[in-house]
Structure 1
Amino acid sequence: MTFQQLKYAIEIANWGSINEAAKRLFISQPSLSMAIKELEEELKITIFERTNKGINVSVEGTEFLGYARQVIEQIELLENRYLDAKPSPQHFSVSTQHYAFSVNAFVNLIQKYALEDYEFTLRETKTYEILDDVKNLRSEIGILYLNDFNNKVINKLLKESNLEFTVLFQAQPHVFISAKNPLAKQANVSLDDLDPYPCLSFEQGQYNSFHFSEEILSTLTHKKNIRVSDRATLFNLLIGLNGYTISTGVLSADLNGNNIIAVPLNIDETITVGWISHKNVTLSKLAAAYVQELEKVIQDYH
């Protein structure tokens, strides 16, 4: 087993693709595949499970990669300290549902550490992909919500993937609407109040289950429905069409301005937002620092 093989395995896990990893490493795909095959044979474990849709990190591979990352980090520290080598870029990835506070914390993390050389990834993505990213170590942290409706299904997937959920905060449902919406002056709104307006939600692609929806009450029918894939488009439609979306009520004026407001939704529900991580992997310093920034941002919002 060589340090190079460890780096190869980590790069494949980061990109979720042998093809992409080979490009990033500037080697051929057959050479990379052979290096990993030799590593797996030597260790007598399967690190990556090959499927028609690509590769997944196995349970054994998850544990191995956790140790491999720690070894590589220590080697880089030694090289930087004693060989006067150029510091390696800092790496960190997070996958999240479409929450402004997760972006705020990401910005604060980079500004606080004043990193000169880094490769960070922030994925605002679908619920199933958040689970898959953290399971396969493409992201150290995932951010999503639980409620009475999706709790059983999401927790089952967390258990099967050896992931754990840590509560970040609990919130009562709100709707995001334009500051010019006729409902904007109300102290709270009901579902009947919202009926004339377009309901906006984030599409979930291939895994379009009600339990993966980013919005509560996903089983309700609406006369006007619009699904979008990104937060900027959703907010533009809130303003342009007087639409609404159901969320936590946590909104950033710094990122979104004052054109969007949060109004309490008159319904007996609770949304529990939290972050997920892999049980077998110790959080890196940057991941732990990001969690601290998340907590600070939420405290500031409250």
Structure 2
Amino acid sequence: MTLQQLKYMIAVVNCGSINEAAKKLFITQPSLSSAIKELEAEVGVELFIRSPKGITLSVDGAEFLGYARQVVEQAALLEQRYLNKKPSRQLCSISTQHYAFAVNAFVNMIQQSGAEEYEFTLRETRTHEIIEDVKNLRSEIGILYMNPFNRKVIEKMLRENRLDFHPLFEAEPHIFISTQNPLSGRRFVTLEDLEEYPYLSFEQGEYNSFYFSEEILSTVFRKKSIHVSDRATLFNLLIGLNGYTISTGIVSADLNGDNITSVPLRVDDHIQVGWIANHQLQISKQAQVYVQELKTVIRSSGLALLE
């Protein structure tokens, strides 16, 4: 077993395919495939499951990857200390539902890294894809919410995919609206107050189940409903159409400007947001930094952490 083989395996996981990893490593696809198969033969386990749809980590592969990352990180530290090599390129991938605080924490992580070279990825994506990303280690961490309605379904999916949910905070539901909306400034609103306003939500593609909705109360009928795919469009429509969406109440003026405000929504429900990760893996140091930045942003918003 060589350090190069471990680096090859990590590259395949990061890229999601042998072809893409081979391009990034500037070697041929057959050479990379051969190196991975030799590593599997040497350790005596199947690290990857190969199918017509592509390549994914096996259960044994996920455990092996955790050790491989630690070895490669420690080797890089030795090279920096004794061979005067420059720090290795920092890597970290995050998948998240559409939360401004997740972006704030990502910005802070990059600013704190001080790295000369890095390759970070932030995917604001659909709920099912977040779980798939973390399951297949395309992302180290996923950020999503659970509430009494979707908890059993989400927890079942996490168990089946060997993922753990780490609660960050619990919030009362709020609506996000334009500061020019007639409801702006109210102490709270009810569902009845919202009946005549367009409801905005994030579309979930082929997994468009109520349980995968990013917004609570997904089964409530609305006379006017608009589905969008990105946060910028949603906020533009909040302003242009006097629409509303439902979320945690954490608004970022730095990212969203001063045109959006939050108002408490009086319903018998709550939102618990947390991060998910592979049960068998210790997340990288960079991912650990991101989690700490998440906690800092949440504290600064006035919410209590669930620790």
TM-score w.r.t. length of structure 2 = 0.95
- With 182-191 and 251-260 compared, the bigger mean Cα shift is at 182-191
Q: How big is the shift at 1:86?
A: 2.7
- Give the secondary structure class of the aligned counterpart of 1:217: coil
Give the whole-Å Cα distance in 2 for the aligned partners of 1:207 and 1:49. Answer: 24
Give the whole-Å Cα distance in 1 for the aligned partners of 2:97 and 2:145. Answer: 8
What letter is aligned with 2:95? S
Give the whole-Å Cα distance in 1 for the aligned partners of 2:219 and 2:55. Answer: 33
- Give the secondary structure class of the aligned counterpart of 1:169: strand
Structure 2 portions without partners, runs of 5+: 303-307
What do residues 282-302 of structure 1 show as CA deviations (whole Å, max 9, x unaligned)?
122222221111111111111
Q: How big is the shift at 1:13?
A: 0.7
Superposed, which structure 2 residues align to 1:237-252 within 5 Å? 237-252=237-252
Structure 2 match to 1:285: 285
Identity value in percent: 66
Q: How big is the shift at 1:34?
A: 1.9
Structure 2 match to 1:259: 259
Q: Does 1:66 align with 2:66?
A: yes
Give the whole-Å Cα distance in 2 for the aligned partners of 1:79 and 1:275. Answer: 33
- Give the secondary structure class of the aligned counterpart of 1:149: coil
Give the whole-Å Cα distance in 1 for the aligned partners of 2:219 and 2:28. Answer: 48
Structure 1 match to 2:305: none
Structure 2 match to 1:52: 52
Give the whole-Å Cα distance in 2 for the aligned partners of 1:295 and 1:87. Answer: 27
Structure 2 match to 1:172: 172
Structure 1 match to 2:78: 78
Structure 1 match to 2:118: 118
What letter is aligned with 2:145? Y
Count of aligned pairs between the two proteins: 302
- Give the secondary structure class of the aligned counterpart of 1:246: strand
- Give the secondary structure class of the aligned counterpart of 2:61: helix
Structure 1 portions without partners, runs of 5+: none
Superposed, which structure 2 residues align to 1:208-227 within 5 Å? 208-227=208-227
Give the whole-Å Cα distance in 2 for the aligned partners of 1:261 and 1:159. Answer: 36
Q: Does 1:230 align with 2:222?
A: no
What letter is aligned with 1:279? H
- Give the secondary structure class of the aligned counterpart of 2:154: helix
Superposed, which structure 2 residues align to 1:15-34 within 5 Å? 15-34=15-34
Q: Does 1:40 align with 2:12?
A: no
What do residues 38-64 of structure 1 show as CA deviations (whole Å, max 9, x unaligned)?
222222212111233222211111001
Q: How big is the shift at 1:206?
A: 2.2
What letter is aligned with 2:193? D
- Give the secondary structure class of the aligned counterpart of 2:145: strand
Give the whole-Å Cα distance in 1 for the aligned partners of 2:153 and 2:277. Answer: 17
What do residues 152-201 of structure 1 show as CA deviations (whole Å, max 9, x unaligned)?
01111111121111111100111111111111132211112211111111
Give the whole-Å Cα distance in 1 for the aligned partners of 2:211 and 2:15. Answer: 27
Give the whole-Å Cα distance in 1 for the aligned partners of 2:117 and 2:179. Answer: 40
- With 265-274 and 15-24 compared, the bigger mean Cα shift is at 15-24
RMSD over aligned Cα atoms: 1.3
- With 25-34 and 270-279 compared, the bigger mean Cα shift is at 25-34
- With 165-174 and 220-229 compared, the bigger mean Cα shift is at 220-229
What letter is aligned with 2:87? P
What letter is aligned with 1:251? V
Give the whole-Å Cα distance in 1 for the aligned partners of 2:200 and 2:223. Answer: 12
Structure 1 match to 2:206: 206
TM-score w.r.t. length of structure 1 = 0.96
What letter is aligned with 1:81? R
Structure 2 match to 1:192: 192
What letter is aligned with 2:140? E
- Give the secondary structure class of the aligned counterpart of 1:197: coil
Give the whole-Å Cα distance in 1 for the aligned partners of 2:225 and 2:32. Answer: 46
What letter is aligned with 1:117? E
Give the whole-Å Cα distance in 2 for the aligned partners of 1:87 and 1:286. Answer: 13
Give the whole-Å Cα distance in 2 for the aligned partners of 1:294 and 1:139. Answer: 16
What letter is aligned with 2:202? F
Deviating 4+ runs (over 6 angstroms):
none
Q: How big is the shift at 1:134?
A: 1.5
What letter is aligned with 1:215? E
What letter is aligned with 1:175? I
What do residues 96-117 of structure 1 show as CA deviations (whole Å, max 9, x unaligned)?
1110101111111121232221
Give the whole-Å Cα distance in 2 for the aligned partners of 1:244 and 1:90. Answer: 38
Structure 2 match to 1:91: 91
Give the whole-Å Cα distance in 2 for the aligned partners of 1:95 and 1:136. Answer: 12
